[in-house]
Chain A
Amino acid sequence: MSEAGRAPSGTSSGRGHATSPRVELASTGALRQTMDAYYRSLGDAAERGAAPVAWCSSAGPVELLRAFGFAVHFPENHAAMLGASRTANRYLPLAHAQGYSPDVCSYLASDIGANLAGESPLSAFGLHGVPQPDVLVFNTNQCRDVRDWFEWYGRKWSVPVIGISSPRAVDEVTDADVEGVARQIESLVRPLEDVAATRLDGSRLAAAMSASRDGSRLWAACLETAAQRPAPFTFFDGTIHMGPAVVLRGTPEAAAYYAILFAELEQRVQQGVAAVPGERLRLYWDGMPIWGRLRALATTFADFKTTVVASTYCNSWIYAELDPADSFRSMARASLELFIARSEQPKERYIERMVAFYGADGVVFHDCRTCSSNSNARYGMPQRLAERAGIPTLVLDGDVNDLRCFSDDQSRTNIEGFVEQLTDARAAGRERSRR
């Protein structure tokens, strides 16, 4: 045997690569500037009265809010900041004590808890907390929780909570569905005019629609570069660089940033630069990120030379078919066609298409404890994909923000075991073809 003290070298663990080289994206500087400017504009609106403030769910009708000139705060983005900074678990008990169950959305509970504690990561950008809204606008196409979440704040500050009750588990999107949601979006105009004290300007709405569409198309182009081998961009990169796609949707700033990022990714493709050096395996991610373990998970997969190339999550902010000439109906269609709003069959077909498009060797399903709406491993989809389509699948138990629902060791064993399985299967295939 080798000398005592030698580190394992088989599937060598590599836990904690604090000094490992990382493949930095140069666009990160522009990303930081873009996001800083956004947060500071929120502060100007909320604390210096530069503009009325609206809160919007991440899949809500933000283009309409842009047309009215609202500064828009996205509570889901705020909650993700709590998760990523691993402060969410400090705040969750405060909301649970208010009657919000540990089983409901940990975004909701950590965000409300942070508010009860009087703390916010936005203080790093000069704000004295979340920007107090003049109106809160939800869309239930993603879940019911956004409405319950917003209503807590609506009660707290006595401000209107309005929104769209969009169908969920949508099979094929019908014209009737589109008409129904379009009418709901249109019905928001009057109350928003009252809050903003201005009439809706059609040309401003069209401009927001165009900006949203342009930003979406560039964001989609960035994500699609990961179809190249080696992939220049990963799901984990995407969770960071999706910031403008979420909070600056409907503004020219989003498209401006994604033009920069896309140029860099194109360059990486041309130069063969891999986000995960030595890429051997490629996986597709379904479901929410585990914000507090992003770096740990990225490192774990990279240790095994495995690139998580894309996800249903980062692709959820693509509104490429918005039509400035038919704003309400195209917004409605985008809202209904969103992955999270769909039934099992369209979701399953979508994942199958994405696995083929990105050349993924398998799918990792994150079964997010407090987000049933965006957990797709609960009705047999991993088994169906494996049995029907021959796509290997792995289910990881975890949570978007509540780290009590996540086990580092168990997840690592699950991932490592999956990598072993896929690697062995690939080698066996090669062996068969040699024979």
Chain B
Amino acid sequence: MICYAGIDSGSWNTKAVVIDVDGRVLGAAVARSGADLAAAAELTYAGALAKSGRTHDEVAAVWATGFGRDTVPFADGSRTELDCHGRGVAFYLTGPLVIVDIGGQDAKVIRLDAEGRRLSHRMNRKCAAGTGSFLDEIALRLGVDIQDLDALSRGATEELELSSFCTVFAGTELLTLIRTGKRPADLAMAAYRSLIKRVIAMDVFTGRVVATGGVVAFHPTMVTLLAQACRGEVVVPPHPQEIGAFGAALAARDAPASLMSDEMADEPAAVEDGGPGAE
């Protein structure tokens, strides 16, 4: 039986999803991307296939997405994570949508129209604040495992503020608060609030807000805080961490109709480095 696969080669984790022709998820796998992105892609693909009960020969096409989308050696095509997150979410939810994706390395806000077409996107600046890396840094400072940060924050009783724009400065600020005897639970919650503040400054959140990404999957407090900040409901689609890989699998399935699927020639523009007149 024909099926399709998508690989999301992310900065922290690589995700793979296998779907059937109707878009049903048959298998999924996640592994750390590490230093060998191709190996992580192979590993997760094999894992997702094993869970799907399908064989490699049954997979009609594999498409890749994510920061390492060009390093997946067996991919038949690629789309950006901006496209694939939108595509994956639009499969489950009708627009207009504002998708907030918080990944390990970057945060994205993707706007889709009623038909699920992308209207615009925003990415965070070259900076860790507002991304999963920020939470890793905070967990490290608090001496807790990143997986335990969400549970820790649920014991918060005092509203504290981390106001620095910069992750390094926020870390210093955290140390100051620790020195003054503030509780780790309150500090963990302050870190989540700080991250949400950065994210909601990226765009105007009107319409239906959807949260995706590994950070959302493992830090549900973020969803609660995002909903408070947006003054409305925030929807989390099925398998939020693998939604990009799922979108890539949908792109693989829809490839014949894909507008980008024809071959790109390898002819860049004529330009030399060297400065004005230095060609």
Contacts and interface: CB of A to CB of B under 8 A. Distances in A.
Interface of A: 1-2, 4-6, 8-15, 17, 20-25, 28, 31-32, 34-35, 38, 77, 80-86, 121, 234, 236-237, 239-244, 246-247, 275-278, 291-292, 294-295, 298-299, 301-305, 307-308, 386, 392-393, 395, 397, 405-407, 409-410, 413-414, 416-418, 420-421, 423-428
Contact of B269 (A9, A298, A410): A298
Contacts, number: 220
A236 B83 CA distance: 27
B183 interface: no
Contacts of A77: 275-277
A125 to B, nearest CB: 10
Contacts of A307: 269
Contacts of B32: none
Contacts of B264: 11-12, 14, 303-305
B64 interface: yes
A84 B120 contact: no
A302 B141 CA distance: 44
Task: Tell me the dominant secondary structure on chain B's binding face.
Answer: loop
Interface in B248-275: 251, 255, 258-261, 263-275
24 contacts: A1-B62, A5-B73, A6-B75, A9-B263, A10-B63, A10-B76, A10-B78, A10-B251, A10-B255, A11-B77, A11-B78, A11-B260, A12-B263, A83-B275, A84-B278, A85-B273, A234-B270, A237-B271, A298-B271, A299-B268, A301-B268, A303-B268, A418-B121, A421-B120
Interface stretch (B21-29, B53-61, B186-194, B207-215): B53-61
Contact of B272 (A234, A240, A247): A240
Contact of B274 (A13, A25, A84, A305): A84
B69 interface: yes
B126 interface: yes
Given A22-B268, A420-B83, A5 B74 contact: yes
Interface string B101-129: 00000100000000101111111011000
A292 B60 CA distance: 41
A1 B251 CA distance: 14
A406 to B, nearest CB: 7
B279 interface: yes
Interface of B: 5, 56, 59-64, 67, 69-70, 72-83, 106, 115, 117-123, 125-126, 251, 255, 258-261, 263-279
B73 A414 contact: no
A191 to B, nearest CB: 29
Contacts of A397: 125-126
Q: Which of B64, B119, B271 is the most central at the interface, judged by chain A CB atoms within 10 Å of its CB?
A: B271
A9 B76 contact: yes
B245 to A, nearest CB: 15
A345 B74 CA distance: 50
B143 to A, nearest CB: 30
Contacts of A405: 126
B273 A295 contact: yes
A13 B67 contact: no
Q: Which of A13, A17, A278 is the most central at the interface, judged by chain B CB atoms within 10 Å of its CB?
A: A13
Contact of A81 (B61, B76, B77, B274): B274
Contact of B277 (A31, A234, A395, A428): A31
B243 to A, nearest CB: 16
Nearest to B59: A1
B63 to A, nearest CB: 6
Given A1-B76, A77-B276, A243-B276, A13 B268 contact: no
A4 B271 contact: no
A240 B122 CA distance: 30
B61 to A, nearest CB: 6
A4 B76 CA distance: 9
Q: Which of B72, B82, B126, B278 is the most central at the interface, judged by chain A CB atoms within 10 Å of its CB?
A: B278
A1 B61 contact: yes
Contact of A13 (B69, B83, B118): B69
Nearest to A27: B279
B78 A8 contact: yes
B229 to A, nearest CB: 20
B76 A6 contact: yes
A423 B266 CA distance: 18
B76 A302 contact: no
Q: Which of B120, B126, B277 is the most central at the interface, judged by chain A CB atoms within 10 Å of its CB?
A: B277
Contacts of A291: 273, 275
A392 B120 CA distance: 8
Contacts of B119: 421
B129 to A, nearest CB: 14
